[in-house]
Amino acid sequence: MKKVIVLGMSLMLLWSCNNAEKPKTSEAINETQTATHKEPHHNESPDAIELVNGEKWTVNEEMKPFVMKGEELVNDYIQNNQSDYKVLAVQLKDQNTQLIRSCTMTGKSHDELHKWLHPHLEIVKTLESETDEAKANQIVLSLQKSYQDYHHYFN
């Protein structure tokens, strides 16, 4: 039964790369991020990102500029005390679209990247639909943490 669930979730992750889902609440984002940050043990969620023999996964060079630009946008937003989070969400969405279009990765590294990317996309969607500035600021901090997680697992 576990194999069927893992296979189904793997297929769903691959399918979700080009498909949108409903935005999550801030609480759901935090729960997703908490699950994503752990290195899996025998009974942990299949959504937990794994390292390859304790080392980071390699991301294709053509994809990296879009991750780096997204991170730069978030860090600049925070450092400069910006408040137009709707513009930030649009900019991040554009970087994520370009990231997805540039993807040529395959295999396990691709699968592991999706474990980071899927929750990250959901955070951006949540920011895009947020109407409360205080909540939006918390979501932006979640995005900053998401990029930190990316660097923990990928290079």
Q: Can you give the pLDDT at residue 47?
A: 82
Based on the structure, what is the number of domains in the chain? Answer: 1
Q: Which residues contact 92 (CB under 8 A, 6 or more apart)?
A: 70, 73, 74, 124, 127, 143
Select from 99, 89, 75 the least CA-distant residue to 136: 89
* Residue 149 domain-assigned (yes or no): yes
* Residue 18 domain-assigned (yes or no): no
- Count of beta carbons in the 10 Å neighbourhood of residue 6: 11
> By three-state DSSP, how is residue 55 classified?
strand
| pLDDT tens-digit series, residues 64-93 | 999 999 999 999 999 999 999 999 999 999
Residue 30, both tokens: 């935090």
Positions in the chain short of pLDDT 50: 1-43
Q: Can you give the pLDDT at residue 45?
A: 65
Question: What is the chain's mean pLDDT, rounded?
Answer: 81
Select from 29, 41, 101 the least CA-distant residue to 65: 101
